[in-house]
Amino acid sequence: MKKIIKYSMVILVVINIGSCKKSLELKNPNAYTFDTYFTNDAAINQAVIATYAPLLHIGMWAREYYFIYDLIGWDAKPDAPLQGDLLQLSQMNFEPSHFYLSEQWKTLYRMIYRTNVVIDRTTIWQPANNVERINKVQYIAEAKFLRAYAYFNLVNAWGRVPLHTSYQETTDNKFPSRASVTEIWAFIEQDLKDAETGLPVQYPSQWLGRVTKGAAVALLGKSYLYQKKWAAAQATLTKLTIAPFTYTLADNYNDLFSQTNQTNPETIFQVMNKKWQEGDREDYFEDSQERGAFGLGTHSARAQEYGFNDWANVFVPNSLVQIFTYPNPVTNIPGYIDPRAKYTFYGDVASGGQTDYCQKCATGIISYPFSTRGYRWLKYEYYDEQPQLEDTKSGINGQVIRYADVLLMLAETYIQQGNTGSAPLNLINQVRSRLSVNAVAYPSLGSQAAAFEILKRERRLELSGEQVRFFDLIRWGIAKQTINAERTSEGETHLFQDKNLLFPIPQYEKDTNPNVAKDIKDDWN
């Protein structure tokens, strides 16, 4: 009896295996596959839009990006509420296992993977009409811009990193070695040249936020500048000052960092955030982390995180506040206070910072409590509208590249080549003469050394809190001495070290890629 049962069970198993095998061979005609999904304009457009999503994933612009570069670049100093991995950044004692640095690495490579999929599938797609043929060129160009942007961040923060040039290369080579910095920059340049050719100057209003031809030109010019290719940077950035481009400086400096900055004429490339409405997910970044890096958050936490009347995680460093007071450009008399101070931080009368808030509140204007709050960020805050924010639902877009930055980069290209005449002078004064700022114009820039000091100060005055300072100091070769002098002056004992010129290669990458792991010195980079 046992033998009969035994043989019967064997037969049943064989039958079941055969049935399973047959069933596995059946195909669901409604199922999506890599080969069948990306076959029409709508599907590919969705894929392109998905390549933008990592801009708001963990480590990036929704929350951590501004913390990482403001804290390490000393554009923000910690207040007591700052804890954990963020405090480690501020104290310069982070390691290869640091969560947010690792997540930024992962997110940037996630963006690269998605762009490679888009380029691969769009290249073989056969458009049905002329409109779709135009879209095909645009989709590939968008993907190449975003891929270049991801590598721009990677090469500047980590130096030599793995270079995934295509979807097929990624699938064939699971463990790529690190490419040279020269190879990575060359790849970035070519992607941006291709993007410039394929992108439109502007889009219909429903596609606001997609990268434009101007964004590709700006990032290409910035890439040349970072490599000290002064002439190429000058020629490229100059394009943005003439037709077909129509960028202008915003009359009101505050508009750039407000909830009404969606269509600012100064914006060249921005990370879009949605203004919170009833029914939206309320605590976007916590929910996003709970759901993993693929969260659907559309709001920024910066206003809440930096806000003096809310979480108050950071102060504006005293050394930054002091930059806003300098000798008058015309009389050279000390004590001139730059008008941009009142648009940049909350402070006292002596500093030139903003001394009131709630200008648009129904309850009326409130005096800023400097004696208990100290210097705090005004950029990206909306305390002019309400006395407390009480949420992480800011809809203020993140400025990645704006026209004032372009004008100052362009001025730098002249100065770095020894030209301190009318061309760079006019560019710097153009930024200073913004209608709402109207700072005293420089009559001249002086020697090359003097002009460069003016340029450095102008970039700090205009772009502080916009995550450019750290990379400015790195590319100028003065990061360690500058940051340490400022940190020491404010009693900080945790100092910038030589190894901090590059971020540590994440432990995650070392654990999964043996070819990267064996190419790291001192367990850092």
pLDDT per residue over 427-465, tens digit each? Answer: 999 999 999 999 999 999 999 999 999 999 999 999 999
State the pLDDT at residue 262: 80
State the pLDDT at residue 171: 84
State the pLDDT at residue 290: 43
C-alpha distance from residue 426 to each of 74, 326, 443, 471, 517 (Å): 29, 20, 10, 25, 49
Per-residue pLDDT reduced to its tens digit, 15-30:
233 434 444 556 666 6
Which has more pLDDT, 171 or 216?
216
Distance CA 92, CA 315 (A): 17
Query: Would you tell me how many other CB atoms lie within 10 Å of the CB of residue 395?
Result: 21
pLDDT tier for residue 394 given thresholds of 50, 70 and 90: confident
What is the token pair recorded at 71?
């804290």
State the pLDDT at residue 37: 86
Distance CA 411, CA 237 (A): 10
Q: Which residues partner with 208 through β-bridges? A: none
- Tell me the backbone φ, ψ of residue 357, rounded to 5 degrees: -145, 180
pLDDT tier for residue 1 given thresholds of 50, 70 and 90: very low
State the pLDDT at residue 287: 53
pLDDT tier for residue 65 given thresholds of 50, 70 and 90: very high
What is the token pair recorded at 16?
């079941």
What is the token pair recorded at 280?
């939206």
Q: Which residues partner with 314 through β-bridges? A: 78
The H-assigned helical ranges of 92-212 are 99-124, 130-158, 167-172, 181-198
> What mean pLDDT, rounded, does the chain reach?
90
Residue 74 has pLDDT above 60, yes or no: yes
Q: What's the average model confidence in pLDDT over 186-209?
A: 96
What is the token pair recorded at 122?
């769009």
Per-residue pLDDT reduced to its tens digit, 274-312:
776 666 555 455 555 444 444 556 778 899 999 999 999
State the pLDDT at residue 274: 77
Most confident of 15-19, 36-40, 173-177, 191-195: 191-195
- Tell me the backbone φ, ψ of residue 23, rounded to 5 degrees: -65, -35
Most confident of 90-94, 173-177, 414-418: 414-418
